[in-house]
Amino acid sequence: MTNPVLETISKRQSIRSYRPDPIPRDLIQAIIEAGNQAPARGRMKEGSSNLDFQPWRFVVVEDADLKRKLVETTLPFWKNMTASMKDSHPDMYAGIMAQFEAMPEPKDMVYYAAPAIVFVIGPKGFDISCSLACENMMIAATSLGLGSCYVGFGAMVTGNTCVVEALELQEDEKIFGPILLGYPCGEQGTLDSIRTEKAPPSIKWM
Ligand SMILES: Cc1cc2nc3c(=O)[nH]c(=O)nc-3n(C[C@H](O)[C@H](O)[C@H](O)COP(=O)(O)O)c2cc1C
């Protein structure tokens, strides 16, 4: 069985090489609005008697200087993780390092030089709700011809005061994603080429 929504869901895949072309703002807006439609756990908000079902907020980073700071902050985490693969997965390590060496400065192996990085920010304890918003955004991006990727490494920015201030990240908040957005580049990077087909789901019918 198929329909446009099911087709879009199965077409979505993590994209790790992007064209530098900027994304029209109305597309990013539409993607964020799709995130905003996600189901969420209700929370009481100070000064309101109604439950709030939109715990998230979104920060879109397109600025080159801020992106450079993001890369400088997160790349050491990436390097540590990659080094740990050297003995356990030597072939994969060699492929990733070849991609790293070939990359122009700044060597952005975390955000893959995506033209837009969308930080989904929500209160601690709202992980499921905010993650659902992220998935809606990635499906919406696919439907609009854009590539996307959820990059957990990209959230490791809390050690950089300057970035924390730019994101206006509060003590009780957490980053989800960020979600990379951009037009997929024709050429696949090493990381794209290691993608495997999804195995059929494990289902128990009762
Ligand atoms: C919580 C989470 C964290 C992830 N972090 C990263 C990351 O830091 N870098 C990356 O390239 N991909 C990251 N991914 C993407 C996964 O690698 C990807 O979803 C997985 O390989 C399945 O491939 P697909 O998205 O193409 O179906 C992350 C995905 C999730 C859900």
Q: Which residues pair with 121 in a beta bridge?
A: 57, 175
Q: Is residue 94 part of a domain?
A: no
Q: Name the closest-CA residue to atom 2, ligand 1.
A: 152
The DSSP string of 63-107 is -HHHHHHHHHHHHHHHHHHHHTHHHHSHHHHHHHHHHHHHSPSS-
Q: Name the closest-CA residue to atom 3, ligand 1.
A: 152
Q: Which domain CATH number covers 148?
A: 3.40.109.10
- Cα(9) to centroid of ligand 1, in Å? 15
The three-point CA angle 74-86-67 to 5° equals 15
Q: Is residue 118 part of a domain?
A: yes
Q: Is residue 199 part of a domain?
A: no
Of 150, 186, 149, nearest in space to 21 by CA: 186
> Domain tally for the chain?
1
**pLDDT by residue, tens only, the chain of 206 residues:** 999 999 999 999 999 999 999 999 999 999 999 999 999 999 998 888 899 999 999 999 999 999 999 999 999 999 999 999 999 999 999 999 998 898 888 899 999 999 999 999 999 999 999 999 999 999 999 999 999 999 999 999 999 999 999 999 999 999 999 999 999 997 655 556 556 689 999 999 99
* Closest atom, ligand 1, to C-alpha of 16: 11
Can you give the residue range of the structural domain that contains 114? Answer: 7-43+50-71+110-189
Q: Is residue 63 part of a domain?
A: yes
Return the number of other C-beta atoms located less than 10 Å from residue 78's C-beta: 20
Torsion angle of C-alpha atoms 90, 96, 97, 100, degrees rounded to 10: -170
Q: Is residue 136 part of a domain?
A: yes
With a 6 Å cutoff on the Cβ, whether 153 touches ligand 1 is: yes
Q: Is residue 173 part of a domain?
A: yes
Q: Is residue 64 part of a domain?
A: yes
SS3 154: helix
SS3 152: helix
Q: Which residues pair with 149 in a beta bridge?
A: 180
